[in-house]
Structure 1
Amino acid sequence: MGTPNFAVPILEELIKQNYKIKAVVTQPDKKVGRKQVLQETPVKKVALAHKLPVYQPVRLSRSEELDELINLHADLIVTAAYGQFLPTKFLNSVKIAAVNVHGSLLPKYRGGAPIQYSLLNGDARTGITIMEMVKEMDAGDIYAQKAIDILPEDTSGTLFEKLSLLGRDLLLETLPGIINKTIKKQAQDESKVVFSPNISKEQERITIDMTANEANNLIRALNPDPGAYLELAGKRFKVWKAEVAEDSTSLEPGSLVANDHRLAISFAQNTVLNLLEVQPAGKKRMDIKNFLNGQGGKLVPGEKIVD
């Protein structure tokens, strides 16, 4: 059970290791882009390529598909970023265990956006948890965990790729022990639970009460999707890449510090952020040199340009 690219290596390796896949469950196809082209999920594409049965219920609970899946009486459910709750009667229908590959070191970051929150909060490390699925979200006992460092240049995109492969490898290491019941599960420490709900529209905006470091963390967390933005001269201005400048400024937050060889904006606590890759409203993504050669060159240093 999975939907995005994160889940693809996991499904592919299960197939490669000759696990018998009775069904693949993924979210419904979605219309994307300006032309609203109907697009299959990455997991569905892999399943169809291997001629596996695919289920795409809009809502798994109380669906006809759920009854069919329960009647398969599978040994295992393996879930990786599926995107829906699994009913208890489905979890209980398997002979061995329902297992989830989760992109954080639980109990930190239960919920739908653990990778984004690890960047948003400036964490030094993140990782993968292989856990037993229970009715409560991401609250099951832990089978195994593995951590990796978060690098300064990491974004959600790069962490998704790294954790996808880490999750694949850790799951395949762990599954034999789950099947023969030699792995001892560990209960999560409820006193250390942190939640990571899906990113809201309001969270996408970079505000001038942030420090440059906080703004940069948000930019990294929302790259490649959906992207963080500034309100620059009253228009939405996406920032895809930035860096915290070494210098400080006495200008009020939201002011243009420099627009010669760099585009530098002041933030809270006298901090400065250099914008490196941007996307003005109605334009394509561009590096800062191209922006400064165009409309960015008309901005006046010292003026407040961010609302």
Structure 2
Amino acid sequence: MILSSKPWNSSIAERLARRLDRHVEIVSCPEQLRTESIAEINPQWIFVPHWSYLIPESVWGRWPTVIFHMTDLPYGRGGSPLQNLIQHGHVTTMLTALRCCKELDAGDVYLKEPLDLHGSAEEIFLKADKLIEKMIERIVHERPKAKPQHGNPVLFTRRTPAQSNLSLCTEGELSAWYDQIRMLDAAGYPHAFLEVNGMRLEFRRVSQRSDGLYADVRISSTATVQTPKQEPSS
């Protein structure tokens, strides 16, 4: 079983079913995550590529539930890992497959694989998903033993939509603007923006050139903007 609330994961179940030669169910919203429904399927594994909601203990305590987190745990426990990594200057990370438990991102680790952080958030997520599929296949076939995390935890805080405002970036640093735009450029995220004279400018598809930054810009009235309450976790 796959838990994923992201649109780019819509076909992952089909691909994994072919790779693993077995039936794979996908759950895409929290309303579908009911213990009774899962018990009817009784999955061998539950894998969680992208999920921004609470997984109840009645699920992870009964079926082995594997979360994929985009940091080298225990470094980077918490929300918005991709955005926090980029803002801390990281250009690579480790994609960690860990057992779900009561404490956030503190479970035993099955596997870690290196992941490049260049490109837009959407491009990075697509790279991560290809890697996740390979890691799932390896876990199912090899059944590695999960091992406890070692080291002192470093905690990340989930970002708020207000932090997408480009006016908060370091003054005069194009690289900070570039990172802010690209790290929020994925479906479901509050894109980098500026608000000027009652208008909201949202930036996507940024490229960095010798004479400055180039990006697509969407302009709308601030009166019509509906900002999400919280930036989703990566």
Question: Does the pair score TM above 0.5?
Answer: yes
CA drift of 1:235 comes to 3.3
Q: Deviations over 1:193-220 (max 9, x none)?
A: 33252x3121110126614222221111
Q: Unaligned regions of 5+ residues in structure 2, if any?
A: 222-234
In 2 relative to 1, CA 100–10 (structure 1 residues): closer, same or farther, beyond 3 Å?
farther
Q: 2:194 aligns with which of 215, 218, 230?
A: 230
Alignment correspondent of 2:153: 192
Q: Unaligned regions of 5+ residues in structure 1, if any?
A: 28-55, 246-261, 263-273, 284-307
Structure 1 counterpart of 2:91, which letter? A
| Contact kept? 1:127, 1:163, Cα under 8 Å | no
Q: Within the alignment, does 1:26 sit opposite 2:28 as a pair?
A: yes
In 2 relative to 1, CA 68–282 (structure 1 residues): closer, same or farther, beyond 3 Å?
closer
Alignment correspondent of 1:206: 166
C-alpha distance in 2, partners of 1:8/1:168?
A: 13
C-alpha distance in 2, partners of 1:101/1:4?
A: 14
What root-mean-square deviation, in Å, do the aligned CA atoms of Structure 1 and Structure 2 show? 2.7
Question: Of the two structures, which has the highest relative contact order with CA contacts closer than 8 Å and spacing of 6 or more?
Answer: 2
CA drift of 1:6 comes to 4.8
Structure 2 counterpart of 1:231, which letter? E
Q: How many residues align?
A: 213
Alignment correspondent of 2:135: 170
| Contact kept? 2:207, 2:215, Cα under 8 Å | yes
Percent identity at matched positions?
A: 21
Alignment correspondent of 2:224: none
C-alpha distance in 2, partners of 1:275/1:79?
A: 35
C-alpha distance in 1, partners of 2:218/2:26?
A: 40
CA drift of 1:72 comes to 4.1
Alignment correspondent of 1:102: 69
| Contact kept? 1:122, 1:217, Cα under 8 Å | no
C-alpha distance in 2, partners of 1:99/1:69?
A: 15
Alignment correspondent of 1:156: 121
| Contact kept? 2:76, 2:154, Cα under 8 Å | yes
Q: Within the alignment, does 1:275 sit opposite 2:213 as a pair?
A: yes
| Contact kept? 2:178, 2:208, Cα under 8 Å | yes
C-alpha distance in 2, partners of 1:74/1:242?
A: 43
C-alpha distance in 1, partners of 2:145/2:127?
A: 26
| Contact kept? 1:104, 1:126, Cα under 8 Å | yes
